[in-house]
Structure 1
Amino acid sequence: MLVKYLGIAITNIGLVFGGPIKPSKFSAARVLIQLPKGTWLESIAVRRNGDILATSLFYSSDIFTVTQPFAHPNSTADILAPVTEVNSFLGITELTEWYDEETFFFVGGNFTSLTNFTTTVGSFRAFTLTFSRGGKAHVQRVSDLAPISSFPNSVTAIPQSPGSVLIVDSFVGAIGRLDLSTGHYNPRAFAFYEMTVPKGATLPIGVSAMRMKGSYLYFGNPSTQSIYKVKVDSKGHLIQGARPSLVANISSVAPGLDDFIFDLQGNILLATNSPENAIVHVDVTTGISKRVVGGPTNPLMPDSTCLAFGRGVFDTNIFYVSTGRNISDPTTAARIIAVDASILKY
């Protein structure tokens, strides 16, 4: 296992203030944080203490943090100092049962273009972000995914298999498994036709997001605009002979599909990217989908990318949405949106 200490520090840059998380009677969503011009957020996670972490793609290799957004009338974004060996960060997930200290796993690499998703072959790495008991943050490089991985995207830890992480590769169209204790990476731990890029796809992107829930691994493919599930055991290994089954096709509701989460009822809330710029609710039993926040003519969440529910006393019904920006308009910037799920209309 390759481990390289990089070091990290927190710098308060006081980005743009947001107000208290109290949606008006007219809307369930509001802008929590507006970042500077040129920023693009890719993934979002929430710490045990309620702080938000968000990774930055292409325009800077930063991890932004928002301290207890539910507790302050005005929220600000701070920067965890960048890791200079890559220019982009992607998926992030908490390693809940492996480390004594609070630790997150994330992936990053180099992009040369975001409009057509051109990456630098051999540049992708896996990292951990650890918060000591005193609150200090440290980053370590824990694995070189190159040259095996060409576009690692979403990541998820496996709580009952400590030290094991699943990594989506959107160009390969498969899900890999990384053992952090040995550094061994199997790039095709899950490889199905439903994960691949179909012929004629506008962008060469297959499976882009995944979550584990119960006995299933759920995954989404934006090129087919579909979410599937496949049966796994408690340690996140594929059940012998299991095949993916369709959960929902959202093409009639929204033309995009990115990361997703499960709500308190066990149904799916997913980000749709541009041009839909919306959040879609998917009933996992019926497959019925409905746009519940945003939309192509709503400027609230340009290129929504990822979601995460709050973990504080006062925001368990709030989920936070990271956004990119309008690719064709460089004057736009990333945001973090707060959405009150308790008043959404499903």
Structure 2
Amino acid sequence: MALLRWLTSSVALSAITTAYANVPVSLPTRLVAWSPTDWFEDIAVRPNGNLLLANLKYAPSIYELTDSTLDFDRFRINSVKQLVGITETTTDVFALVGSNHSLSTNIATNSSVIFKIDCNDNASAEPQLIARLPGAVMPSGVTTVPGNPRIILVADSGLGLLWRVDMETGKVSVGAQIPEMRSGLAGGISAVKIRNDYLWWTNLSGNAVYKIRVDKDGNVIQGATAELVVQLPSAKLEDLTFGPGDEDTLWVVTGADGQVFAVNSEGDILYVVESADLIDATAVVFGRTERDFKMLYITTRRGKVVVIDTTGLGDGASHNQNLRQVKLQSGGKYYMS
């Protein structure tokens, strides 16, 4: 069993540089939890604020991070080797993407599956098999279609396409396959989200974020073409999210160099966050409770969960006050409050 290590020393401050004024700003960044032998590939947030972590390495498990503890093996699925994706479909109900993917060959043909877990009844939550993806090669990111939450879209980085899965019937089909999703030497489409009637995704080979118009069921609008949102000066764009709250700022984490980019709707890079704790980042999500909706949570393949406090962005006075409060915190466990 991996040993959970809580950071008990000082808060790390990450340097952030604006794209225009080149004025350095600091945001408080903190290591929330560390399980050194694990590889957290994806992250989701429950309505109560707890974090669900998909473990890719060693054990096909979902860990749950609460205010004070990391619950190992919150859910375990023994029929697969890894869990590579998680997304909420309806309130406190989640779809899981499992795989028998080989870390040495990067191939998972005929071995990918979709499960469902219902966390509304904590005592009896058991994973339920929904569908198999017999043609999948390297499943990666997964997202729920907001207008039709019975549908999830699963990125296949190996084939450069999206699988479409009906969580009620188990029907599987190809959801989208367009040139900008194609796989190169580093892989193809990776992260995927739907926002403001657009499907957004990253491509591992091009270090770019794209978007395309979709309907309420997540289908690409007939005649729509992919639009390049931004090409980032970094390798392996692992995941993306929007926020905080209803804001449309796009946040992209990279897997190679410990960077997080904030990009506006015009594709301008607003901020770049760098931290040694963010190296090998895998997934990113904002909190969803009143107390932490401006907290950006990031997982890594090194078994880390890191939080960046974005409260001070765009407001120098409140930001400086926030920094002073953080610096005054003593050592001990970091609580999400």
TM-score, structure 1 as length reference? 0.80
The runs of 5 or more residues in structure 2 that have no matched partner are 15-25, 316-337
Query: 1:260 corresponds to which residue?
Result: 240
Q: 1:285 to 1:107 in 2, by over 3 A?
A: same
Q: Is the 8 A contact 1:318 1:340 kept in 2?
A: yes
Q: How does 1:1-346 map to 2 (within 5 A)?
A: 15-18=4-7, 27-35=27-35, 37-67=36-66, 69=67, 74-96=68-90, 102-113=92-103, 118-133=106-121, 135-146=123-134, 148-187=135-174, 189-198=175-184, 201=185, 203=186, 205-250=187-232, 252=233, 254-264=234-244, 265-274=247-256, 276-288=257-269, 290-294=271-275, 299-325=276-302, 334-344=303-313
Per-residue deviation, 1:81 = 4.1
Query: 2:23 corresponds to which residue?
Result: none
Query: 1:8 corresponds to which residue?
Result: none
Q: Is the 8 A contact 1:292 1:344 kept in 2?
A: no
Per-residue deviation, 1:79 = 2.5
Per-residue deviation, 1:160 = 1.8
Per-residue deviation, 1:313 = 2.4
Per-residue deviation, 1:197 = 1.9
Q: Is the 8 A contact 2:62 2:73 kept in 1?
A: yes
Q: Is the 8 A contact 1:13 1:77 kept in 2?
A: no
Q: Is the 8 A contact 2:262 2:272 kept in 1?
A: yes
Q: Is the 8 A contact 1:88 1:110 kept in 2?
A: yes
Cα distance in 2 for partners of 1:344, 1:57 equals 33
Give the secondary structure class of the aligned counterpart of 1:112. Answer: coil
Q: Is the 8 A contact 1:249 1:287 kept in 2?
A: no
Q: Is the 8 A contact 1:221 1:227 kept in 2?
A: yes
1:30 maps to a residue whose letter is R
Cα distance in 2 for partners of 1:272, 1:106 equals 22
Percent identity between matched residues is: 27
Q: Deviations over 1:243-301 (max 9, x none)?
A: 10110000x3x222011101233011111002x1221112221433642232xxxx212
Give the secondary structure class of the aligned counterpart of 2:64. Answer: strand
1:246 maps to a residue whose letter is L
Q: How many residues align?
A: 302
Q: Is the 8 A contact 1:14 1:77 kept in 2?
A: no
Query: 2:325 corresponds to which residue?
Result: none
